[in-house]
């Protein structure tokens, strides 16, 4: 019995030793490497490296709730309105041997009612690629100085940061100086070129926009110009009138005022347009109370030639921080549009002035109110009087 027991224990010990040797020969599985998201500080806060790449990405967006009152003209008019808007945007940047490679996408979705209109809309607000000095896609027109610290919510008359499709190249000269040439989709009001139904011919050329700009610690200044093709499909004496080139020029500057308070700024924009009145910031049809006007790039004159509309606008504002979390903006504009005696629309002047007060209790959250007064004065029409109106807004907005 003792012999059997000894043999059994010896066999177990031998098997254990053999198994240990074989186990030492087996490969040991290593834990998979964890690739952590790295912060990318090169382009500012919020960027991180896309894992496995050298591309930095920032995910951002906005939610806006706004409520408006606009003085009604008749019992049928809405006086109040509700707006909810959501924004989602992606900003991807990569450093290359040729300069910055950037792709930017911004989508906006809105639900509106009352004075804002009615319905739901989805809008590709911006989508563009930047590669070195090249910009291609949809972004803010280069006619506008993007450094202007404009905080008005209502509309004052200057080319107020419109998004357009474009192809542009920016030349950087150093020390804050740059110049841009841009081919852009037409920014125009309308062309009442048959003197009756408002039918203009199709565009054959994009708008040519250029600017010269300086940006420094004190602020920025920009001189802009645009050429816009004006064509007609109205037959006059069996032929079409020759096309014309409308044009616009603008000077815009922004001055920082840190001696008053951190973040304070003053801005001013002066624009003149001939045959390209969209660059004044007008839609084709405008109204204030019972007064109304039509903005025409051009019309057919008595001699059968294209006659252009002309106009100018002056807009400006000042932003002041009463405390680090409470700021106020005061802004206004004056515009005048003129035509010849045979024009299908009357000359008019318009001026607007407004102010808002905004509280930012935490970073990225704005709660504010705004009031805007406007006056429209049609000129040269018997029995057409000027009129004015008030409107107000309450806005709650979260940016992230």
For the ranges 2-6, 69-73, 231-235, 356-360, the lowest mean pLDDT is seen at 2-6
What pLDDT sits at residue 30?
61
Q: Fold for domain 133-399?
A: Porin (2.40.160)
So what's the pLDDT on residue 292?
A: 87
Whether the per-residue pLDDT at 15 is higher than 50: the answer is no
- pLDDT band for 195, please (50, 70, 90 cuts): very low
Q: What is the pLDDT of residues 254-312, one digit of tens each?
A: 999 999 999 999 999 999 999 999 999 998 888 898 898 889 899 888 888 899 999 99
Instruction: Give the pLDDT of residue 399.
Output: 97
What is the average per-residue pLDDT within 339-362?
92
Backbone angles phi, psi at 2, to 5 degrees: -65, -35
pLDDT greater than 50 at residue 24:
no
The whole-chain average pLDDT of the chain stands at: 88
The better pLDDT of the pair 69, 293 is held by: 69
Average confidence (pLDDT) over 202-228: 95
Return the pLDDT at 31: 56
201-208: average pLDDT:
88
**pLDDT single digits (tens) 246-265:** 999 999 999 999 999 999 99
């Amino acid at each position: 019995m003792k012999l059997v027991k000894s043999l059994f224990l010896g066999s177990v010990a031998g098997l254990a030793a053999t198994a240990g040797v074989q186990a030492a020969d087996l490969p040991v599985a290593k834990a998979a490497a964890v690739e952590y998201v790295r912060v990318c500080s090169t382009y500012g806060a919020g960027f991180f490296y896309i894992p496995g790449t050298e591309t930095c990405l920032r995910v951002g967006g906005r939610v806006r709730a706004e409520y408006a009152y606009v003085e009604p003209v008749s019992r049928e008019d809405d006086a109040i309105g509700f707006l909810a808007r959501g924004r989602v945007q992606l900003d991807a940047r990569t450093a290359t041997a040729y300069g910055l490679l950037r792709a930017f996408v911004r989508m906006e979705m809105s639900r509106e009612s009352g004075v804002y209109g009615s319905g739901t809309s989805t809008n590709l607000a911006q989508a563009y690629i930047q590669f070195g000095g090249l910009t291609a896609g949809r972004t803010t027109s280069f006619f506008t100085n993007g450094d202007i610290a404009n905080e008005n919510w209502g509309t004052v008359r200057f080319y107020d940061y419109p998004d357009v499709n474009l192809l542009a190249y920016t030349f950087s000269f150093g020390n804050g100086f740059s110049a841009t040439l841009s081919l852009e989709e037409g920014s125009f009001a309308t062309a009442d070129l048959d003197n009756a139904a408002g039918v203009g011919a199709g565009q054959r050329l994009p708008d040519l926009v250029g600017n010269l700009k300086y940006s420094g610690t004190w602020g920025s200044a920009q001189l802009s110009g645009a050429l816009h093709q004006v064509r007609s499909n109205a037959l006059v004496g069996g032929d079409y009138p020759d096309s014309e080139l409308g044009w616009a020029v603008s000077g815009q500057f922004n001055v920082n005022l840190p001696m008053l308070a951190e973040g304070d700024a003053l801005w001013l924009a002066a624009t003149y347009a001939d045959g390209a009145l969209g660059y004044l910031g007008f839609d084709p049809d405008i109204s204030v109370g019972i007064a109304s006007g039509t903005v025409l790039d051009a019309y057919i004159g008595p001699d059968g030639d294209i006659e252009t509309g002309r106009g100018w606008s002056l807009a400006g504002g000042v932003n002041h921080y009463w405390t680090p979390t409470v700021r106020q903006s005061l802004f206004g504009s004056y515009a005048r549009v003129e035509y010849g005696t045979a024009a299908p629309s009357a000359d008019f002047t318009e001026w607007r002035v407004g102010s808002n007060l905004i509280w930012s209790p935490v970073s990225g959250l704005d709660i504010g109110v705004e009031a805007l007064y406007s006056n429209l004065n049609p000129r040269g029409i018997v029995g057409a009087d000027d009129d004015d109106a008030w409107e107000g807004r309450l806005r709650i907005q979260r940016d992230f």
